[in-house]
Amino acid sequence: MTLIRGETGAQRTLGYVLDVSRDDGRARCMLDVGEAHSNRHGVLHGGIAGVLLDNAMGATASLTVDKTGRSPFLTVSLSTNFVAAGIVGQRLTATGRVVGGGRSLLFIDGELRSEDGALIATAHGVFKRVPREKLAEGGDA
């Protein structure tokens, strides 16, 4: 199993883990929801749900060209639909799935589910492949 831990500042801050090891080409982003991830109503903050989906979907895009899931793809757009509350104490898993695209743009759907299989949120995004050297330069990708 290939797990990516603590690779980015966001990942270290929030504590999620990225799994890019499955043979199905779908990355998974897992988080054990704690109090620090909750909103003022005591359930998972929607922004954190979005982060989990964005990471799983972006890594899924990367897996189309790189089995390590680390090739740069940037989020062009991300639309999220919240279905149910994520509960403190649960493990949530976001999964991405390629639904279309070409060489430089990919269309990815995502699902965020609780450990008992309940659907928490869905998402649809567009991800753009960017050469690593373009990222180092900064500016427009």
What integer pLDDT is reported at residue 140 of this predicted model? 61
How do the pLDDT tens digits run along the chain, 141 residues long? 688 888 888 899 999 999 998 889 999 999 999 999 999 999 999 999 999 999 999 999 999 998 888 888 999 999 999 999 999 999 999 999 999 999 889 999 999 999 999 999 999 999 999 988 777 766 565
Q: Which residue has the tokens 């900064």?
A: 138
Residue 138 confidence (pLDDT):
66
pLDDT at residue 132 in the model:
80
CB of 49 closer than 8 Å to CB of 39: no
pLDDT score at 9? 86
Question: Domains plus CATH for the chain?
Answer: 3-137 (3.10.129.10)
**What is the pTM assigned to this prediction?**
0.92
